[in-house]
Structure 1
């Protein structure tokens, strides 16, 4: 028996990393469905900009400035969200950071920052949100947890080892959680964006010649929302060329090694500046 489409209309949602990029674009999509949103991020000014745009798109927003990598912050953000919104229907674990480069050139502090924000924070935020999401799921059956992972969770890219590990960890967390929540009315979905034209990508010099051509964020988010409404559990927004590499990796990973080997020096130089921490 097929489930009804996920109804995103009028939902109370918490979106992490909502000051720009995918987080902001998702906020506007939910706002156009008259959502009531809690927006969190590290800097108040971009959050205020997103909140103003949410209002223009038909939604309402409450902003929470927070560093989700800090002790106790995921729990505080969820508690403030529930107080402000009167409950919670949707949690979007979107906040993330990246530091690319040869592993032994990356500072330990940057490694820990990726693990804390990309993996530990969404686990703790989800843990804090679950009883509220369960209540919503029991009431209307359209609650959701959405993890914004990465193409790197599916194909480990050189010079992104720690980042790939955190995003793969988020993927398995979502999968296990989905099975834990069968029958709860909570839909769990994981999103796999390739490179997207967002501020997170501003510091990289890798372009389409190295497989890092940027997709417009609004196109990617439109695909994410369509996938959510169809209750897809895996939403892959990569371009065809990257999807082909993903297929090859599943079939013959050493063939991917051979494809990437001639480009390693060029890729290393191009991504060495990529840092959003």
Structure 2
């Protein structure tokens, strides 16, 4: 029996990169996976890849910065699979620029998507885990240390790490585990785009997403 046989989960930001790889692997391990992404076509592509490999997946659009969108995506997952056993909150965005040159609305947008977006996902996933389960928030190496020229991203990802710690303490008694992973630079389409326009080695390290 596969490790995730009979489990029902969702992955945000699953249209590419880390999220796509995670969704595909969960399905290979026997899970039914809701593939969620702001790009509905990319989510459908990931779901099709899972289906071609014999796995079970449904695709849906989600904007993690919008509470109603998050609520609808979680509700659709629960309706489609009869419940939720795990979630991976991977969706996010990066940004570059010196702090004193960053407009306030740009800073707020990055923090809202990465930190408030993770909060919204947790807010609606936790009640759906009615028989316990696990949530993994994808933070970043920028959640543990500085990344040059990425003040908003680093601030938001530090916040994700702190939010994860609070959720882990508050929901442990319900049998729900909440953890964060903090990957460094990962070879995703976003990384490739960054690398194609970067001179090594003097340029600052990229975020993981």
TM-score by length of 1: 0.68
Report the Cα distance in structure 2 between the residues aligned to 1:117 and 1:11, rounded to whole angstroms. Answer: 28
Corresponding position: 1:187 with 2:177: yes
The structural deviation recorded for 1:160 is 1.0
Which residue number in structure 2 is paired with residue 218 of structure 1? none
Q: Secondary structure at the match of 1:267?
A: coil
* RMSD across aligned positions (CA): 2.2
Between the two proteins, the alignment pairs up a number of residues equal to 205
Q: Which residue of 1 aligns with 2:94?
A: 98
The alpha-carbon distance between structure 1 residues 136 and 58, as it changes in their structure 2 partners (threshold 3 A), is farther
Is this contact kept in 2: 1:27–1:37, CA < 8 A? yes
Residues 1:40 and 2:36 are matched in the alignment: yes
Which has the greater radius of gyration?
1
- CA–CA separation in structure 2 for the residues paired with 1:158 and 1:73: 32
1:136 aligns with 2:131: yes
Distance in 2 of aligned mates of 1:177 and 1:45: 32
Say if 2:37 and 2:60, in contact at 8 Å, map to a contact too.
yes
1:168 to 145, 149, 158: 158
1:30-81 CA-to-partner distances (Å, cap 9, x unmatched) read 1011211111111122111100111133321111112221342222221222
Find the partner of 2:59 among 63, 83, 94.
63
The equivalent of 2:187 in structure 1 is 197
Moved over 6 A (4+): none
| Cα displacement (A) at 1:207 | 6.8
Q: After superposition, give the CA deviation of every residue in 1:208-228 in whole Å (9 maximum; x if it has no partner).
A: 954xxxxxxxxxxxxxxxxxx
Contiguous gaps of at least 5 residues in structure 1: 1-6, 138-142, 211-265
Are the aligned partners of 1:99 and 1:106 in contact in 2 as well (CA < 8 Å)?
A: no
Structure 2 residue 143 is the aligned partner of structure 1 residue 153:
yes
Q: Which consecutive residues of structure 2, in runs of 5 or more, have no partner in the other structure? A: none
Q: Deviations over 1:97-132 (max 9, x none)?
A: 001111233343432221122111111111112122
Between the aligned partners of 1:48 and 1:76, the Cα distance in structure 2 is 17
